């Protein structure tokens, strides 16, 4: 990119989901606006690993340069384990590497942001037009809450597996209290089973991400500058006024570059858009955070804001297969014939590379006495305080995954399906802070605090029982993968079966669990739960006296010309899967959602896009620009020539990135090879914490 970075109007620190949306909208609204996006990671333009949705597993490799891995403190609530939570690290951030699941928050989530946390303009009625503005909803025509002319396409993907169809058949036949819907993401309803849409273009089979459809399609605009491989260290101030950013070369992407800090200045605005982990760290290194923490790291206190880096929140699941089931396992293992076949299909917008294997699900909340009995007394208080008056809020999300959510190295080679379940609004909240005042590459001091509250265990227990009953009745069920199921006492009715010849009858009685069985399920969750990759809340938008970091116009308290635009609150959902294989326990919480004052009952990409759109509107108003309705952005692709500075090609990785230094010492952490070089062009592997 041909620019001399002497001066810009606006600088974005972090080039992820929300930053691409906000920067793209502003650039399109006024192409003379000089905008710089500084991003730690690399470009994603037209790379198969990014544009082919079905390659998302490749990014989970520990050697991946497109994710940053955050290692949490070991905790008793997790049976002594440390959780490793990744976040996107490339142009587009999480949206360029994620699983492309299209899940919207509940309307009441945003209403809470507006009323409970006193943020006028952030309620569901204000944000719905922005949700619609981002999308072209190809999955169904004429749905009143969806958009039909936005830059990002939403469809069922190039292939819906027979595992999903089986799931929906069994779930709707056996759950007499809930029904099927064509639109489980209409924004207002939950407790309905449905097919699950994806952020995938039905016509091209490509990932729908803001990097390509808000930024790369403006290649002709030389005032929109993207600089990759740069770690933002801190904000530069004149008094209270933010005037620029200081940054250094990213050590993962540019290991041999000079580490001398560079400065770049913005005449109008500095926006921190580095996600739930990055944005609070930049604030703290800039002297904005809890005074005692800043003093500990020899950082002069500029603004004492104790909430910076607090409020971190996270998902889980599992069952097996049959040789007839359509699954991603061969693709994940790097089977060359399977990869070639699907690469060919992808050129027509079809096949597994144009899909994600997560094709059905439900946002579910209790209805019956049996549901409440299974949730137990630990959940009663949470139900009364949080859920009873918000009928659109699900307690968990669950659905099938057409692949093994676990270690492909140790599991026998075959086809698997898993059931994933996610605690949508965990009570437990953690924190993420800097461990060094000077070094932006230093690992964060991160406490995920998962499962610190008994209600979070109760919710997951319910998820395990519900999904297990469906899985046992599915046509492709061939037993439970014992290594990742609870260890029930010998003789318990709940004991897991290994290999079996087929499913039980639809009308077979449900399993009855004893107190001892429930304890075995809780132990299992403590040992196996993992993140669902949806962090948020670490720079919460609330009144300052109530623990806020930014005001409703995204301004950082105690400063001028400095905004945070991101969706990461550290809050994660807990999830579990019970395939007869492994469980996939996820815990939501991560992303541009740093400003989210409270959790959303959904995967967070949709909310990150919405925050990006809202940030663009707010910034445009502040700057006196016009950003009107939809269609500002061309949806066609153009070349990126002239859009970026030359950055050396990333080195071939032969060792784990710095983020993994010391991981070998963590008990219970295994790094297992998941996919091969043909599949990812990188050293493959997936982290499983077991």
Ligand X SMILES: Cc1cc2nc3c(=O)[nH]c(=O)nc-3n(C[C@H](O)[C@H](O)[C@H](O)COP(=O)(O)OP(=O)(O)OC[C@H]3O[C@@H](n4cnc5c(N)ncnc54)[C@H](O)[C@@H]3O)c2cc1C
Question: Which listed residue (124, 136, 221, 274) binds ligand X by CB under 6 A?
Answer: 274
Non-local (6+) Cβ contacts of 325 within 8 A are 161, 162, 163, 402, 415, 417, 476
CB of 253 vs ligand X, minimal distance in Å: 10
CB of 568 vs ligand X, minimal distance in Å: 5
Q: Which residue has the tokens 């490749």?
A: 58
Q: Are 619 and 10 in contact (CB under 8 A)?
A: yes
CB of 609 vs ligand X, minimal distance in Å: 8
* Touching ligand X, residues 225-244 (CB under 6 A): 231-232
Q: Is 533 annotated as a binding residue?
A: yes
Residues in the chain: 690
Looking at the Cβ atoms of 86 and 400, the one nearer to ligand X is 86
Looking at the Cβ atoms of 166 and 286, the one nearer to ligand X is 286
Active site residue 534: yes
Query: Judging by DSSP bridges, how do beta strands 35-38 and 224-227 pair with one another?
Result: parallel
Asked if residue 364 binds ligand X (CB under 6 A), the reply is no
From 59, 322, 481, 534, the catalytic residue = 534
Asked if residue 36 binds ligand X (CB under 6 A), the reply is no
Looking at the Cβ atoms of 230 and 452, the one nearer to ligand X is 230
Of the candidate spans 26-34, 39-47, 362-370, 425-433, the one that interacts with ligand X by CB under 6 A turns out to be 39-47
CB of 454 vs ligand X, minimal distance in Å: 27
Q: Is 264 annotated as a binding residue?
A: no
Q: What DSSP designation does 218 have? A: G
Asked if residue 683 binds ligand X (CB under 6 A), the reply is no
Helix pair angle (454-471, 515-528), 10° resolution: 100
Asked if residue 459 binds ligand X (CB under 6 A), the reply is no
Q: Which residue has the tokens 């997951």?
A: 460
The enclosing H or E element of 272 equals: strand 262-272
Helix pair angle (605-623, 17-29), 10° resolution: 40
Alpha-carbon span 610 to 613, nearest angstrom? 5
CB of 536 vs ligand X, minimal distance in Å: 7
Helix pair angle (605-623, 124-134), 10° resolution: 100
Of the candidate spans 216-224, 458-466, 587-595, 637-645, the one that interacts with ligand X by CB under 6 A turns out to be 587-595
Question: Which listed residue (70, 133, 563, 568) binds ligand X by CB under 6 A?
Answer: 568
Asked if residue 40 binds ligand X (CB under 6 A), the reply is yes
Alpha-carbon span 527 to 451, nearest angstrom? 11
CB of 678 vs ligand X, minimal distance in Å: 21
Asked if residue 567 binds ligand X (CB under 6 A), the reply is yes
Cα torsion 95, 275, 132, 386: sign: positive
Alpha-carbon span 520 to 509, nearest angstrom? 21
Q: Are 360 and 167 in contact (CB under 8 A)?
A: yes
Looking at the Cβ atoms of 288 and 458, the one nearer to ligand X is 288
CA-nearest of 572, 609, 552, 441 to 93 is 609
Q: How many CB atoms lie within 10 A of CB 248?
A: 20
Looking at the Cβ atoms of 16 and 479, the one nearer to ligand X is 16
Question: Which listed residue (69, 416, 570, 605) binds ligand X by CB under 6 A?
Answer: 605
DSSP for 282-320 reads HHHHTTEE-HHHHHHTT---SEE-TTTT--B---EEEEE
Question: Which listed residue (205, 430, 566, 684) binds ligand X by CB under 6 A?
Answer: 566
* Binding region for ligand X (CB under 6 A): 13-18, 38-41, 86-90, 93-95, 97-101, 103, 231-232, 274-275, 278, 282, 440, 533-534, 566-568, 590-593, 603-606, 608
Please give the annotated binding residues for FAD, written as ranges: 232, 533-534
Active site residues: 534
């Amino acid at each position: 990119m041909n620019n001399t970075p002497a001066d810009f109007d606006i600088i974005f620190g972090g080039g992820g989901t929300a930053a691409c949306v906000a920067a793209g909208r502003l650039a399109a609204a006024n192409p003379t606006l000089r905008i710089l996006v500084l991003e730690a990671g690399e470009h994603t333009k037209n790379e198969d690993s990014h544009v082919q949705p079905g390659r998302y597993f490749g990014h989970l490799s520990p050697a991946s340069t497109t994710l940053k891995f955050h290692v949490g403190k070991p905790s008793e609530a997790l049976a002594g384990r440390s959780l490793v939570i990744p976040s996107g690290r490339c142009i587009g951030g999480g949206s360029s590497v994620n699983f492309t699941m299209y899940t919207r928050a509940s309307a009441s989530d945003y209403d809470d942001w507006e009323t409970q946390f006193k943020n006028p303009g952030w309620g569901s009625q204000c944000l719905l037009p922005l949700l619609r503005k981002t999308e072209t909803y190809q999955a169904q025509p004429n749905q009143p809450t969806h958009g039909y002319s936005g830059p990002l396409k939403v469809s069922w993907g190039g292939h819906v597996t027979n595992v999903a169809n089986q799931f929906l058949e069994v779930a709707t036949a056996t759950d007499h209290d809930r029904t099927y819907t064509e639109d489980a993401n209409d924004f207002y309803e939950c407790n309905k089973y449905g097919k699950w849409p994806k952020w995938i273009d039905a016509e091209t089979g490509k990932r729908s991400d803001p990097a390509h459809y808000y930024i790369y399609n403006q290649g002709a605009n030389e005032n929109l500058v993207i600089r990759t491989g740069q770690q933002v260290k801190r904000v530069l101030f004149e008094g209270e006024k933010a005037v620029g950013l200081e940054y250094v070369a990213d050590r993962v992407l540019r290991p041999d570059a000079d580490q001398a800090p560079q400065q770049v200045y913005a005449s109008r605005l500095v926006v921190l858009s580095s996600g739930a982990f990055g944005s609070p760290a930049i604030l703290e290194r800039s002297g904005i955070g809890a005074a005692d923490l800043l003093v500990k790291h020899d950082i002069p206190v500029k603004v004492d804001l104790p909430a910076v880096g607090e409020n971190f929140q996270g998902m889980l699941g599992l069952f097996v297969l049959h040789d007839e089931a359509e699954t991603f396992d061969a693709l994940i293992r790097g089977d060359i014939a399977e990869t070639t076949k699907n690469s060919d299909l992808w050129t027509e917008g079809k096949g597994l590379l144009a899909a994600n294997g997560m094709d059905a699900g439900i946002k579910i909340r209790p209805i019956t006495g049996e549901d409440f009995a299974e949730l137990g007394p630990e959940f009663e208080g949470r139900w009364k305080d949080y859920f009873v008056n918000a009928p659109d809020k699900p307690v968990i999300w669950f659905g099938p995954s057409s692949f093994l959510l676990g270690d492909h190295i140790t599991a026998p080679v075959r086809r698997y399906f898993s059931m994933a379940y996610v605690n949508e609004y965990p009570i437990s909240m953690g924190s993420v802070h800097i461990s060094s005042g000077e070094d932006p590459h230093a690992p964060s001091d991160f406490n995920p605090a998962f499962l610190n509250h008994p209600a979070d265990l109760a919710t997951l227990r319910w998820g395990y029982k519900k999904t297990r009953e469906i899985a046992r009745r599915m046509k492709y069920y061939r037993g439970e993968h014992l290594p990742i199921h609870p260890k029930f006492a010998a003789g318990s009715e709940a004991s897991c079966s290994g290999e079996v010849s087929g499913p039980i009858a639809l009308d077979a009685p449900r399993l009855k669990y004893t107190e001892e069985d429930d304890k075995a399920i809780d132990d299992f969750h403590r040992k196996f739960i993992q993140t669902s990759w949806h962090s948020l809340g670490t720079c919460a938008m609330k009144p300052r006296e109530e623990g806020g970091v930014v005001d409703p116009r995204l301004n950082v308290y105690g400063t001028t010309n400095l905004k945070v635009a991101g969706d990461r609150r550290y809050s994660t959902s807990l999830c579990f899967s019970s395939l007869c294989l492994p469980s996939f326990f996820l815990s939501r919480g991560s992303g541009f959602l740093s400003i989210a004052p409270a959790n959303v009952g959904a995967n967070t990409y949709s909310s990150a896009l919405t925050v990006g759109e809202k940030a663009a509107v707010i910034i445009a108003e502040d700057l006196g620009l016009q950003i009107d309705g939809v269609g500002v952005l061309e949806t066609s692709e153009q070349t990126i020539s002239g859009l970026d500075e030359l950055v050396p090609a990333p080195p071939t990785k032969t060792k784990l990135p710095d983020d993994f230094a010391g991981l070998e010492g963590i008990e219970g952490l295994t790094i297992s090879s998941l996919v091969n070089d043909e599949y990812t062009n990188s050293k493959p592997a997936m982290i499983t914490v077991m």
